[in-house]
Amino acid sequence: MAIWVVYESLWGNTAAVAHAIAEGIGDEAKAVSTASADPAEAVGLRALIAGAPVHGMTLPTTQSIATATAHKVNDDHAEPRTDEPLMRDWLDGLPELRIPATAFDTRVRGPLGRGAATAIIRAEASRGCTLLAQPKGFRVDFRNAGPEQADLLKEGELSKARAWGAELGALLS
């Protein structure tokens, strides 16, 4: 049975974290975007880890994405990916699950940089999932903005994600 690390990602930061978590978990884990993972197929999973960026202290909305993408950090900043389904909609499509689950988010430092992982945990619990581990936040810094996808991540965050993935893998074995 597979383990999915499902993500919604605008500038590739959350996607990079998801891939690092999956790598840390091991061969059984697969990082998949909300565009490529059918929620109905989650019934065959062994575990679910889901992640998204924080927008306005919760999961992104169509409006928050429009606002975020209208104000690029600088002219060199990578183009956002806006064609993937929202994590909130993907979670709404999940069937009843009886599997362990957890969440992560990408966030800025401070009190406004929290909330997406909490919303994901609530949605997973409403589908019958049990909490595998406390959710984790991975930091971005807009001063790092450049032309590459995932360039907003603070140094060391991908190593932190791999290590957390290894912890999750140990919990699941």
Instruction: Dump pLDDT digits (tens) for 72-86.
Output: 666 776 777 778 899
For the four alpha carbons of 47, 36, 96 and 116, in that order, the dihedral sign comes to positive
* Beta strand ranges found along 13-135 (DSSP E): 29-33, 47-53, 100-107, 130-131
Token pair 């995932």: residue: 150
**Mean pLDDT over residues 60-74, rounded?**
72
Query: For residues 146 and 6, is the Cβ–Cβ distance under 8 A?
Result: no
The pLDDT of residue 56 is: 65
Cβ neighbours, 10 Å, residue 159: 11
The pLDDT of residue 73 is: 66
Beta bridge pairs of residue 32 = 6
Range of the domain at 141: 3-172
The pLDDT of residue 55 is: 72
* CA gap 154, 146 in Å, rounded: 13
The pLDDT of residue 104 is: 97
Q: How many domains does the chain have?
A: 1
How far apart, in Å, are the Cα atoms of 9 and each of 1, 129, 155?
Answer: 25, 23, 18
The pLDDT of residue 66 is: 74
**Residue with the larger pLDDT of the pair 114 and 134:** 134
Residue 62: CATH number of its domain:
3.40.50.360
With 90 as the cut, is the pLDDT of residue 17 above it? yes
